[in-house]
Amino acid sequence: MIEVKKLPESKVEITAEISADEFNHAFVEAIREAQKNLELPGFRKGMVPEKQVIAHIGEENLLVDAAKRALNKHWDHLIKEANIEPMGRPDVSLTKIAKGNPLGFKIIVSVLEEITLPDYKAIAKETISTHLPNIEVTDEEVSKIFDYIKQNNKNLPPDADEKKLKDAISQNIRFEKETKERDKRRVTVLEAIAKKSSVIVPDVVVDAELEKMLEELQTSLKQMGLTWEQYLSQIKKTEAELRIAWRADAQKRATFGLVLREIMKKENINPPDEIAHSKTEEMLRAMSEEERNKTSRERVSDYVRGRLLHEMVFDLLEKG
């Protein structure tokens, strides 16, 4: 039996107990785990008797370890019974912890509250219809790049077909313009949907988005050969000032992310595993060996799946 109390700022407090039998089982697991690596005078590694394990490590420490094990094991059941969607790390306090007794605890955690979406397909259709400019590529734009290539590309054959090269340049310019316009239009669509949605973004989600933004910038700076300290010195700001300046954008990005996530749920959108796997392998192959060693496959897979999900949502919205 659990008690769920709603708190301000999209948080809840959960008060509950884990039975004495289950807690005792977790306590035995904690002892056995400690026993595996413990070596004391007169006993081989892994062969120290239970009493000596408790005496050496301390019953209180083992009880805390057992509490962590029991809570981790029951976490999924707990949030299901509480009917919540937790966001971020929970704040756990133990209210009763003693050998042979139930484990009592309180958990305070940020939660994602119910999101109400408008008719997002209709909004997308209306927004897109009013944001479809005619993409043009001028002769001047093509000539400017063509002249630059002629002057700076030493590998360009002297008898290169000028018309074919200019056609290729024109196609590339058009593609870049269309991509920029598409991205701009997608932001406009999301803004229009989010404006008519009921979304409460927990601070912990905004904080996570802000960390992601800072990490993206730091990665970009590293690729350009700049350190974080050099960048801050150039813009004459501290990291704390940058976080304050960026918080509104982080709030906006987090809102967009939650709106997209809710559309995915409602439309049951999920990329096929074989496509996600193929795209992940493709991205890993494109990395240098050093980059692959520093990046976990799971992280790349999550990134690829996220991009695929977003593309599938926008494909749905843009097709109406």
- Taken in order 95, 99, 103, 109, is the CA torsion positive or negative? positive
Confidence of residue 217 (pLDDT cuts 50, 70, 90): very high
CB 267, CB 316: distance < 8 Å: yes
Spatial separation of the C-alpha atoms in residues 306 and 240, rounded to whole Å: 29
pLDDT of residue 154: 67
Spatial separation of the C-alpha atoms in residues 189 and 178, rounded to whole Å: 16
Confidence of residue 129 (pLDDT cuts 50, 70, 90): confident
Of 97-111, 220-234, 241-255, 279-293, the range with the lowest mean pLDDT is 279-293
Residue-wise pLDDT for 132-147, tens only, equals 778 899 999 999 998 8
CB 110, CB 10: distance < 8 Å: yes
The 3-state secondary structure of the chain reads CCEEEEECCCEEEEEEEECHHHHHHHHHHHHHHHHHHCCCCCCCCCCCCHHHHHHHHCHHHHHHHHHHHHHHHHHHHHHHHHCCCEEEEEEEEEEECCCCCCEEEEEEEEECCCCECCCHHHHHHHHHHCCCCCCCCCHHHHHHHHHHHHHHCCCCCCCCCHHHHHHHHHHHHHHHHHHHHHHHHHHHHHHHHHHCCECCCCHHHHHHHHHHHHHHHHHHHHHCCCCHHHHHHHHCCCHHHHHHHHHHHHHHHHHHHHHHHHHHHHHCCCCCHHHHHHHHHHHHHHCCHHHHHHCCHHHHHHHHHHHHHHHHHHHHHHHC
Domains of the chain: 3-111 (3.30.70.1050), 120-129+170-319 (1.10.3120)
pLDDT of residue 82: 93
In degrees rounded to 5, what are phi and psi of residue 7?
-115, 165
For the beta carbon of residue 254, count every other beta carbon within 10 angstroms.
22
pLDDT of residue 92: 95
pLDDT of residue 91: 95
The 3-state secondary structure of 191-234 reads HHHHHCCECCCCHHHHHHHHHHHHHHHHHHHHHCCCCHHHHHHH
Spatial separation of the C-alpha atoms in residues 153 and 165, rounded to whole Å: 13
Residue-wise pLDDT for 67-96, tens only, equals 999 999 999 999 999 999 999 899 999 999
pLDDT of residue 103: 96
Is the model's pLDDT at 299 over the cut of 80?
yes
pLDDT of residue 38: 87
Please name the amino acid found at residue 269.
Answer: I
pLDDT of residue 45: 84
Residue-wise pLDDT for 4-47, tens only, equals 999 998 999 999 999 999 999 999 999 999 998 888 888 888 88
